[in-house]
A and B are shown apart, each in its own frame.
Chain A
Amino acid sequence: MKNDIILAGVGGQGILSIAAAIGLAAVNSNLYIKQSEVHGMSQRGGDVQSHLRISDKPIASDLIPAGKADMIISVEPMEGLRYLPFLAQTGWLVTNVTPFNNIPDYPNIDDILSKIKAVKNHIAIDADAIAKEAGSTKASNIVMLGAASLFLDIPFEKIEEGIRQLFGRKGDDVVQLNLKALRLGREFSEKNK
């Protein structure tokens, strides 16, 4: 198996937490992993991406070739579209629909949503609203992870375990909130795939 995932968003939106949770789940499942991320100047409110590769065989490149990504997980609607050249024909675009608007010429949201709907396999989810339902809008990235988990070749229990590991130090309340966010995200994908 292999899961090549592009994680997309804006600097500071927490895509690296998604990468870390999947990474832990992959390591706990005895899989190979390579994950490349962005630091420095680009992080300051600019667009950021992380390439996350998981496989049961050794992985060569830290970067995913164009047209080969199995999934784009985007915590912001416009950013998901930015990486479409990477998405395979059979790949999934899993994206939040709540915009992060820090630029003067942010496009009309309906134009963005129609482009998202034009992608054959897509999940468009209001992760912020669902995270609020789970207890905190801060968990919207974990809602996205839950929504994406349906298309990962990693058992859901391993991802739950990853969440427990990742948030364990912050106390049980935080763990439970994030587990709830994860499940709600997953349920959304099950209903809307």
Chain B
Amino acid sequence: MNNNKLLLLGDEAIAQGAIDGGLSGIYAYPGTPSTEIMEYVQASKQAAELNIHRQWSANEKTAMEAAIGMSYAGKRAMVCFKHVGLNVAADAFINASITGVNGGLIVVSADDPSMHSSQNEQDSRFYGKFSMIPILEPSNQQEAYDMAYFGFELSERLNVPVLMRITTRMAHSRAGVQRRESRPQNELRLPSDPRQFVLLPSIARKNYKKLLVSQTAMELESEKSAYNQMIEGTDKSLGIITTGIAYNYLIENFPDHKCPHPVLKICQYPIPRKQVTELYNSCSKLLILEEGYPLVEEMIKGFLNIGKTIHGRLDGTLPRDGELNPNIVAKALGLTVTEGEPVPEVVKNRPPSLCQGCGHRDVYEDLNEALKEYGTGRVFSDIGCYTLGALPPYNAINSCVDMGASITMAKGAADAGLVPAVAVIGDSTFTHSGMTGLLDAVVENSPITVIISDNSTTGMTGGQHSSATGRIVEICKGIGVHPDHIRVVTPLKKNHEENVKIIKEELAYNGVSVIIPQRECIQTFARRKKAEKKETNE
């Protein structure tokens, strides 16, 4: 193995590939398992020297739109988020396939099959198909690097954004990566067609027809792509199609990684119809191995439904949910799996929990006590560290649906007559997508109490910049919350009684109240102190 290789996470490989491929700006909102892409660019000396834009955005939609703007100006842009972030960005994302690009545009969406750190396991490839653009799905860290490097070219050549789809395992696994020579950034250059980015219906119709026509070109790209490979095998009783990292789980099961069956390894979409047809015609039946939803399986059953058996997630050969692993694939192939000893009964579950000394703990203690007289079942939560308040010992919240949903759900419940209704949201989540919901509540003077638990960071993903820091009170005033009902408190043991009293007062108020418990995240606080100490020593 070459010693010049960098040892990189899949996320980091994407970041380095993009930098070397002529990136001018990266836009993102943190979300596991995508966070480390932006973090790598932010920490990169090379990116700093090249003056690459690398600041977190307020949410995934603003990130996506800024990236489209950078592409409009002729430069290469990347936008990154987790799978559910693509839902937030979906409006802009889908339309970007109609505007097309000027500078290359790569959209990275990191899926989380098995829901290691997410509320669902949706498959971003469906968005790529929906948007009718090429998808790149790396099977290893080297491909992740190469795809980011070359993805810009593909995007510029086909005049569409390119979706790069990874899964948790790809994002958070480390391996050796060989770098390529850095390519300079594009010059500033306006689109040659001044109306390309104007999606008035008359123009959009023309653009859409162009997109439809270019589907053939995309398919040809896939058929000749080096990322899609037909690997010969002598046992044609079965042909196997893998996508992304499923290939690795397949070959793990064979000595010297040689599968006896013919394998079509797909890492670029649209599905290469020529190779699929070839495999189908030469084998008795097919097995489809893919991470996520049965996208390829459904499509192949659709366009080749002429009698042969197709095994996969749909017929139960593989589980319908969860991430793949070598054992699941072995069982699908009818191979024996030798497990070690079972887990002894003495082993107990160890769920994640709020850090010792975290301010959210005090918020929940205050809130639970203030709500005693009303009973449980009134607290709508959002997504962040404080969502862990759903678990014992607090059992303090009753919902976790999507970013921003707490305020709007509380409003809906209040509309239904559940008064008082409480929303708990974090500072970063509030600027991500809580502000507009608060405006709805203000417009109707809904009887809700909103707790913005402000730890001055995006905590769950490891302490990234929060767009809300230092702005929450002003934002709430600007949105129209009455200043008498914007209450800033400090969530500490010694303030317990006072804070309970304030929450009770606001619960009794028949209108919109905002309570802002402010205390820095204990993790970022410790890191900051350590850094400050280091600075004074130097």
**Nearest A residue to B171 by beta-carbon distance?**
A39
B344 touches A84 (CB 8 A): yes
Could you tell me the distance between the alpha carbons of A86 and B337 in the complex, rounded to whole angstroms?
Answer: 11
Query: B344 contacts A81, CB within 8 Å?
Result: yes
Q: Chain B interface mostly helix, strand, loop or mixed?
A: loop
Interface residue ranges of A43-80 to B (CB < 8 Å): 43-47, 51, 58-69, 78-79
**Chain B residues with CB under 8 A of A39:** 32-33, 35-36, 117, 172, 462
Tell me the number of A-to-B contacts counted with CB atoms below 8 Å.
167
**Chain A residue at minimum C-beta to C-beta distance from B245:** A62
Do B352 and A85 have beta carbons less than 8 Å apart? no
Distance (Å) between the CB of B166 and the closest chain A CB?
12
Contact A85 B340 (CB under 8 A): yes
In the bound complex, do residue A67 and residue B353 qualify as a contact, i.e. CB atoms below 8 Å apart? no
The answer, yes or no, to whether B339 is at the interface (CB within 8 Å) is: yes
In the complex, what residues of A have CB within 8 A of residue B7's CB? 23-24, 27, 33
Q: Indicate if the CB atoms of A32 and B352 lie closer than 8 Å.
A: no
Q: Nearest B residue to A82 by beta-carbon distance?
A: B347
Q: Which of A9-36 contact B (CB under 8 A)?
A: 10-11, 23-24, 27-28, 30-36
Taking CB as reference atom, which chain A residue is nearest B341? Answer: A84
> Residue A155 at the B interface, CB < 8 A?
no
- Cβ contact within 8 Å between A33 and B176: yes
Judge if A1 is at the interface, Cβ distance under 8 Å: no
Interface: B194 (CB within 8 A): no
Contact A106 B173 (CB under 8 A): no
- CB of A129 within 8 Å of the partner chain: no
Measured in the bound complex, the distance between the Cα atoms of B177 and A27 in whole Å is 12
Q: Does B214 contact A (CB under 8 A)?
A: no
B174 touches A23 (CB 8 A): yes
Contact B32 A41 (CB under 8 A): yes
* Cα-based distance from A75 to B339 in the complex (angstroms): 23
Instruction: Please tell me if A115 contacts chain B, counting CB pairs below 8 Å.
Output: yes
CB distance from A175 to the nearest CB of B (A): 17
Given contacts A27-B3, A39-B32, contact A46 B174 (CB under 8 A): no
Bound-state CA distance A64–B326 (Å) is 8
Residues B341 and A119 in contact, CB atoms below 8 Å apart? yes
- Assembly CA distance A11 to B116 (angstroms): 14
CA distance A58 to B354 in the complex (A): 40
Which listed residue, B174, B176, B252, B341, touches A65 by the CB 8 Å rule?
A: B252
Tell me whether B175 is interfacial, beta carbon within 8 Å: yes
The docked-state distance in angstroms from the alpha carbon of A38 to that of B338 is: 25
Q: Indicate if B240 sits at the interface (CB-CB under 8 A).
A: no
CB of B339 within 8 A of CB of A85, answer: yes
In the assembled complex, which residues on chain A have CB atoms less than 8 Å from the CB atom of B253? 65
CB of B337 within 8 A of CB of A36, answer no
Cα separation A107 to B385 with both chains bound (whole Å): 27
Which stretch (A97-105, A135-143, A144-152, A181-189) binds chain B? A97-105
A123: interface (CB < 8 Å): no
Query: Which residues of chain B are near A105, meaning CB under 8 Å?
Result: 348
Instruction: For the complex, give the distance between the alpha carbons of A26 and B3 in Å.
Output: 11
| Inter-subunit contact A42/B174 (CB<8 Å) | no
User: How many Å from the CB of B370 to the closest CB on chain A?
Assistant: 25
Question: Is A172 at the interface (CB under 8 A from chain B)?
Answer: no
Residue of A28, A36, A40, A112 with highest tally of chain B CB at under 10 A: A40
Q: Residue among A10, A68, A79 with the most chain B CB within 10 A?
A: A68
Nearest A residue (CB) for B117:
A40
Question: Does B342 lie at the interface of the complex (its beta carbon under 8 Å from any beta carbon of A)?
Answer: yes
| Given A39-B172, A41-B32, CB of A106 within 8 Å of CB of B348 | yes
Question: CB-nearest residue of chain B relative to A67?
Answer: B338
* Given known A45-B355, A66-B327, A102-B353, contact A60–B252 (CB-CB < 8 A): yes
Excluding A35-B173, A79-B350, A84-B344, 14 further A-B contacts by CB distance (< 8 Å) are A10-B350, A23-B7, A32-B1, A37-B9, A37-B174, A39-B36, A39-B172, A40-B33, A66-B340, A82-B343, A89-B340, A103-B348, A104-B392, A112-B346
Q: List 12 A-B contacts (CB under 8 A).
A: A27-B3, A30-B3, A32-B175, A34-B173, A39-B33, A45-B350, A51-B173, A61-B252, A62-B175, A78-B350, A84-B343, A88-B340
